[in-house]
Amino acid sequence: MKQSNWLIEELPGLSQDEINNLKNNGFTTTLALVKQGKTPQEKLILAQKLQVHVQYVNKWVALADLARIPSVGTEYSGLLLHAGIASVVQLSTTPPHRLHKQILRLQVATLQRRDLCPAVEQVNEWVEQAKKLSVRS
């Protein structure tokens, strides 16, 4: 399975200033960001280079990492992060039924909408693809 690569501006939740900062420092795709932020030390160096708090770099790298999963992409990476999943490896070890319940609770609590929650089958697909990607990483 081929991992997905997105333009940096497609990551959810980034301001135009943050996008410009990343681009001006050579980060035009999500894979470029993931490759430069694999370890806590690399994330700290990246934060210093970008002149932002490391907390932002952690968030951006987590979103970019989750977006590598084809069935997640940039559409669901933010949802997964809000549900407490911060990496492909973590997703690969999360029981799909438990994750689906977490996402459903999140959707109901924030949007008061059960119908916007992805189906259990879709969550299963995310976990299966995460397992395949985490073996390769």
Give the model's confidence band at 137: pLDDT under 50 very low, under 70 low, under 90 confident, else very high. Answer: low
Question: Poorest-confidence range of 31-35, 56-60, 74-78, 107-111?
Answer: 107-111
H-run or E-run covering 51:
none
How would you class 34 by CB atoms within 10 Å of its CB: exposed for 0-12, middle for 13-18, buried for 19 or more? buried
Give the pLDDT confidence score for residue 135 in this predicted structure: 82
Give the model's confidence band at 31: pLDDT under 50 very low, under 70 low, under 90 confident, else very high. Answer: very high
Give the global pTM: 0.94
Give the pLDDT confidence score for residue 121 in this predicted structure: 97
Residue range 116-135, pLDDT digits in tens: 899 999 999 999 999 999 98
pLDDT above 90 for 79: yes
HSE-CB for 18 with a 13 A CA cutoff: 16
The residues that bridge with 7 in the sheet, in sequence order, are 29
pLDDT above 80 for 108: yes
State mean pLDDT over 38-50.
Answer: 97
Give the pLDDT confidence score for residue 102 in this predicted structure: 95
pLDDT above 70 for 26: yes
